[in-house]
């Protein structure tokens, strides 16, 4: 039986592009959903995110039971979970965009403004850049991916940073623990690298 992928719809993600990329990568059953029950029962969960941290967290919290359903599936249930861009950042304890806002707290750390050491480098960090693994991980391999962000995840425990990129200094490109992974880059915009990454996610057995 084909696995069901819950792509969480909370009004803050590039849903159609992510859905299309997941299907191209091999997913046959992608459920774009704002129903906590559908998320709770899914085989895999993808949380996209575009926009400001606080607004995204607020939109997620505004769906009754959604945060609890994600926790039941991913934390209690151990099902593979992928956060993309701001969806990755929401895994943090807090975000500091337009004030301090609490995050999901699944991976310790905070999301702070990017401040490149080289003043020539602009914020947002936009375009293709290297993904350099910090450690071996089933999903993350060296390559180039597409980034678009002004804030970066500063992890509390270096063991939870899976990969970095460089934008006037090291910038977190992927975080993870157990069955949870978040990527700062956009797989749906990262062409062959992104599709290969999503294929690995669909086959991942953490």
Catalytic residues: 85, 186, 188
Give the phi and the psi of residue 145 in degrees, each rounded to 5: -135, 170
* Cα 52 → chain centroid: 14
- Going by DSSP bridges, is the β-strand pair 94-95/44-47 parallel, antiparallel, or unpaired? unpaired
Contacts of residue 205, defined as CB under 8 A and 6 or more positions apart, other chains included, come to: none
CA distance 188 to 177: 22
* Cα 149 → chain centroid: 12
CA distance 11 to 124: 22
Give the phi and the psi of residue 49 in degrees, each rounded to 5: -175, 130
Query: What DSSP string runs through 23-64?
Result: HHTT-SEEEEE--HHHHHH-SEEEE---S-HHHHHHHHHTST
């Amino acid at each position: 039986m084909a696995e069901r992928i819950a792509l969480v719809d909370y009004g803050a993600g590039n849903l159609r592009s992510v859905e299309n990329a997941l299907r191209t990568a091999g997913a046959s059953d992608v459920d774009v959903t704002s129903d906590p029950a559908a998320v709770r029962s899914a085989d895999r969960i993808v949380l996209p995110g575009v926009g400001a941290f606080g607004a995204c967290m607020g939109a997620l919290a505004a769906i009754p039971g959604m945060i609890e359903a994600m926790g039941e599936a991913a934390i209690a249930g151990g099902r593979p979970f992928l956060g993309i861009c701001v969806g990755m950042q929401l895994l943090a304890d807090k975000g500091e965009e337009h004030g301090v806002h609490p995050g999901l707290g699944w991976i310790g750390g905070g999301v702070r403004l990017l401040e490149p050491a080289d003043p020539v480098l602009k914020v947002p960090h936009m375009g293709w850049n290297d993904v350099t693994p910090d450690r071996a991980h089933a999903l993350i391999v060296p390559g180039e991916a597409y980034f678009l962000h002004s804030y970066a995840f500063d992890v509390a425990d270096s063991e939870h940073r899976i990969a970095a990129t460089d934008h006037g200094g090291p910038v977190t490109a992927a975080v993870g623990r157990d069955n949870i992974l978040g990527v700062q880059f956009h797989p749906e915009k990262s062409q062959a690298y992104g599709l290969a990454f999503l294929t690995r996610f669909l086959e991942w057995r953490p």
